[in-house]
């Protein structure tokens, strides 16, 4: 009996020892005032909290201790922290973006017809044209403002509040903090930046859950998250992936992965990587933009370090899955 009690105490001790709770305060960089109701979260997960009336927060990041911390607040630019203290309280300073919001309010007036056309273009590009994307609803689409460039070739979108997205195909509710959206009509290229906080629809009936799981599997297999999680475990081939370089030579795990202290892994390669997924021809390719790109076992990767083109890049917000998703 004593051995069992000792064993349970040891388990409890190690669980506490590995718990990572981040504490800190959110402040306005322009005047040092504390910001309440700021959102502190791990982008692409359901892990998040809000700062209190004194700007203070605590967040358990045990499951995602290696991932960046994201902080968003209404009227401020979003901040992402990759290097921060896990032991001591941190102060996070946000920069106001009131000038940008005022500028948009003044110059972004449009007719109802023009707004409708802009909104459709935004929804198609932002949510995607897939089944999943077309079955998403932005609850507060009225908070989106559009601005056309002087030549009317570029469409920019701004959101005065976080976008509340209901994905009726995958069974998620997403709070999305949109930082940037630009679409060029001439060459049909677009750029968007932002971060997402997920909530799963727990009230769904069994038949709905089965439907959601089928759609989630379809979205996951062959995706960027699937690729990077497979790369992390050195199981690309068994998961249907083949990687080749521009000379059509097969690239192996050892050729592109650097492991550092703490078991952190980085993709490192000079040149494009052509990704084959269950096919005899490349469906996507990755262009490294940094010497070393951090990625994690759950499929997270530093999006600023790579440019993804092809089939994997076609997935938009409507096909987005949280990093804790694993096919059943």
- CATH number for the domain that contains residue 12: 2.60.40.1120
Choose one of 96, 127, 160: the last residue of a domain.
96
- Residues in the chain with pLDDT < 70? 1-18, 98-110
Alpha-carbon 169 to chain mean position:
18
What are 78-121's pLDDT values in tens digits?
A: 999 988 887 899 999 999 986 454 445 444 456 888 899 999 99
What are 253-291's pLDDT values in tens digits?
A: 999 999 987 789 999 999 999 999 998 888 999 999 999
Can you tell me whether residue 67 is helix, strand or coil?
Answer: coil
Can you tell me whether residue 48 is helix, strand or coil?
Answer: strand
Is the Cβ–Cβ distance between 188 and 155 less than 8 Å? no
Can you tell me whether residue 182 is helix, strand or coil?
Answer: strand
239 and 163 co-located in one domain: no
92 and 109 co-located in one domain: no
Choose one of 170, 200, 230: the last residue of a domain.
200
pTM: 0.87
The Cβ-side half-sphere exposure at 111, using a 13 Å CA radius, reads: 3
In a domain, 156, yes or no: yes
**Residue 196 token pair:** 């997402």
Q: Which pLDDT value is given to residue 7?
A: 43
Which residues sit opposite 138 in a β-bridge? 165
Which residues span the domain enclosing 27?
Answer: 2-96
- Cα separation, 318 vs 321, in Å, equals 9
Residue labelled with tokens 């920069």 = 95
In a domain, 149, yes or no: yes
Is the Cβ–Cβ distance between 318 and 135 less than 8 Å? yes
92 and 143 co-located in one domain: no
Q: Which pLDDT value is given to residue 14?
A: 40
Tell me how many domains the chain contains: 3
51 and 130 co-located in one domain: no
- Cα separation, 215 vs 218, in Å, equals 5
8-state DSSP, 250: B
Choose one of 78, 96, 114: the last residue of a domain.
96
Q: Which pLDDT value is given to residue 214?
A: 96
In a domain, 124, yes or no: yes
| Segments of 83-171 assigned E as strands | 90-94, 136-138, 144-148, 154-159, 163-167
188 and 242 co-located in one domain: no
Burial of 108 (0-12, 13-18, 19+ CB in 10 A): middle
13 and 85 co-located in one domain: yes
Q: Which pLDDT value is given to residue 110?
A: 61
- Cα separation, 296 vs 82, in Å, equals 13
Cβ within 8 Å of residue 77, ≥6 positions away? 94, 95, 96, 97, 179
In a domain, 210, yes or no: no
Q: Which pLDDT value is given to residue 98?
A: 64
Is the Cβ–Cβ distance between 275 and 284 less than 8 Å? yes
Side-by-side strand order, sheet with 241-244: 241-244, 273-277, 284-288, 306-310
- Cα separation, 78 vs 176, in Å, equals 11
């Amino acid at each position: 009996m004593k051995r069992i009690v000792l064993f349970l105490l040891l388990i409890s001790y190690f669980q506490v020892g590995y718990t990572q709770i981040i504490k800190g305060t959110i402040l306005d960089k322009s005047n040092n005032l504390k910001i309440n109701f700021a959102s502190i979260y791990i982008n692409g997960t359901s892990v998040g909290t809000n700062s209190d009336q004194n700007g203070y927060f605590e967040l358990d990041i045990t499951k995602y201790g290696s991932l960046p911390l994201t902080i968003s607040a209404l009227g401020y630019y979003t901040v992402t922290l990759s290097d921060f203290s896990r032991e001591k309280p941190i102060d996070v300073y946000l920069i106001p973006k009131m000038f940008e919001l005022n500028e948009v309010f003044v110059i972004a007036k449009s007719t109802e017809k023009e707004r409708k056309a802009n909104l459709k273009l935004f929804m198609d590009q932002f949510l995607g044209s897939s089944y999943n994307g077309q079955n998403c609803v932005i609850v507060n689409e009225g908070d989106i403002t559009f601005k056309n460039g002087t030549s009317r070739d570029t469409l920019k979108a701004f959101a005065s509040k976080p976008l509340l997205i209901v994905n009726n195909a995958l069974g998620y509710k997403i709070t999305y903090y949109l930082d940037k959206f630009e679409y060029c009509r001439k060459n049909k290229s677009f750029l968007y930046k932002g971060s997402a906080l997920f909530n799963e629809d727990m009230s769904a009936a069994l038949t709905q859950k089965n439907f959601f799981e089928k759609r989630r599997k379809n979205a996951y297999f062959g995706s960027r998250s699937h690729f990077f999680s497979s790369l992390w475990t050195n199981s690309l081939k068994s998961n249907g992936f083949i990687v080749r370089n521009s000379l059509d030579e097969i690239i192996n795990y050892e050729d592109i992965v650097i492991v550092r202290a703490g078991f952190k892994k980085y993709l490192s390669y000079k040149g494009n990587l052509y990704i084959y997924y269950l096919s005899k021809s490349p469906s996507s390719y990755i262009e490294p933009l940094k010497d070393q790109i951090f990625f994690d076992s759950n499929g997270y990767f530093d999006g600023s370090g790579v440019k993804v083109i092809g089939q994997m890049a076609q997935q938009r917000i409507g096909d987005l899955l949280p990093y804790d998703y694993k096919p059943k």
